[in-house]
Amino acid sequence: MNILMLSSTFPYPPTRGGTQVRTFHLLKYLSQRHNITLVTQRESDVTEAEVSGLRDCVDHLAIFERPPDSQTTGILKKIQRFGKFLQQGTPPSVLNRYSVEMQTWIDNWVEAGKCDVITCEHSVNEIYVRSHFPKQLKTIVNIHSSVYATCRNQLATGISENSLRDKINLPLLRRYEQNYCAKFSAIVATTEEDKIQLQEFNPNSEITVIPNGVDLVSFPNRTTDPGGHRLIFIGAMDNLANIDAVCFFSNEVLPEIQKLYPDTTFDIVGSHPVPEVLALAQKPGINVIGRVPSMVEYLHQSTICVVPMRTGFGIKNKTLEAMAAGVPIVASDRGLEGLAVDGASHPLRAFRANKPAEYITAISQLFEHPYLRSELSHKGRQLVETEFTWDIAGKSYEQVCLKRD
């Protein structure tokens, strides 16, 4: 098949972030059997070597510069974008990446009949799919997480950056998600929870759940348990949900753990740490490390990986990657979304915690009992190997692409 994939974020190397990881590995799988044309945008930090690396993965690569206005944060621009949101129903987060040149290229490619399928890798790319496209070819939107559900959750948990704005936006986001989904022949979600949310808006839509995966070569199982009292969090540190998670853990959980285990350290590993995160390094035992060449090395050196997410929907790559690396997990409901890790019908594969006291209990148990760490390490790795590889995800995605409408 000739597949046109749209990704406004540059998906190479796949360590750039969660969106890029999913896009890259699905692209890589499909490219083994199909002709892939990728349309993407580059930002200033994308190197020529990275462009060359991505070009080797596809049959045809079309790259556009990210629109300059998209990085303008002036009050006038914000007002203009919100006005468009009210009138046209498209959120500023989608409009600020929109490229007229990229749209023209896509229109010409589709009109010339050069593709059988068009996929939007993340819902932000839906803006490029014209309402008449489904009459000509199969259209798929790969929704990494529901924007409506994410906004609603941030308001409910009190971590919204601007609660007044988000309260105004919430019904608009509901309308937006409902409207754009109607343009697609098929919808892909990462979890059952997101599927239920999207099905409520679009009861007649074909929605397939395809979880994220892990590259087992890049995240090998660790051979030894390092012991000690070393905690780790991994993830892009300019992401609101990750910022909230590490601040919550550093302020409300870690000091109590350190009262029990004074030598406890907490490594925050991930690209682009914002000032709020960098400031945490002033606290005892906290190391803000930033982007690293090999995430798995830091995981293997850690006693426990914590995933204290309070918002952010969809399966978390960070949870799967730590499990693949054989590191015991203590995580929230959000951090474990889409994963069967406990309960009567499943073996124990991770410890669940949402309140500070629950984190303290779970972490203390794992610090004290090597056999528990070993059990979670083994069962977590086994779960990833059997259910969450990129080959499994890629095969499911290919089936969605091939399915006749």
Identify the pLDDT of residue 81.
67
* DSSP string of 290-350, one letter each residue: E--S-HHHHHHT-SEEEE--SS--S--HHHHHHHHTT--EEE-TTTTTT---SSTTS---S
User: Which residue, among 88, 81, 96, 89, has the nearest Cα to 175 in the 3D structure?
Assistant: 89
Tokens of 32: 């083994």
CA distance 208 to 153: 23
Domain boundaries defined on the chain: 2-213+390-402, 230-388
- Say whether 386 sits in a helix, a strand or coil: helix
CATH topology identical between 2-213+390-402 and 230-388 = yes
Under 8 Å between Cβ of 260 and 266: no
With contact defined as beta carbons under 8 Å apart, do 132 and 109 qualify?
no
Per-residue pLDDT of the chain (405 residues; tens, 9 = 90+): 999 999 999 999 887 666 888 999 999 999 999 999 999 999 888 999 999 999 999 999 999 998 875 445 566 766 766 777 777 778 887 888 899 999 999 999 999 999 999 999 998 999 999 999 999 999 999 998 788 888 888 888 787 778 888 898 888 888 888 889 889 999 999 888 889 888 888 888 889 999 999 999 999 999 999 999 999 999 989 988 899 999 999 999 999 999 999 999 999 999 899 999 999 999 999 999 998 988 999 999 999 999 999 987 777 889 999 999 999 999 999 999 889 898 878 889 999 999 999 999 999 999 999 999 999 999 999 999 999 999 999 999 999 999 876
Q: Which CATH class name applies to 230-388?
A: alpha beta
Q: Which CATH superfamily is domain 2-213+390-402 in?
A: Glycogen Phosphorylase B; (3.40.50.2000)
Measured between alpha carbons, how far is residue 295 from residues 44, 66, 277, 308, 315 in Å?
Answer: 23, 28, 18, 18, 19
Look at residues 63, 194, 103, 75 and name the one whose alpha carbon lies nearest to residue 141. 194
Enter the tokens of residue 201: 């808006």
Residue pair 285/265 in contact (Cβ under 8 Å)? The answer is yes
Q: Are 109 and 37 in contact (CB under 8 A)?
A: yes
Please tell me the distance from the alpha carbon of residue 152 to that of residue 292, in angstroms, as a whole number: 33
Q: Supply the DSSP symbol for 389.
A: B
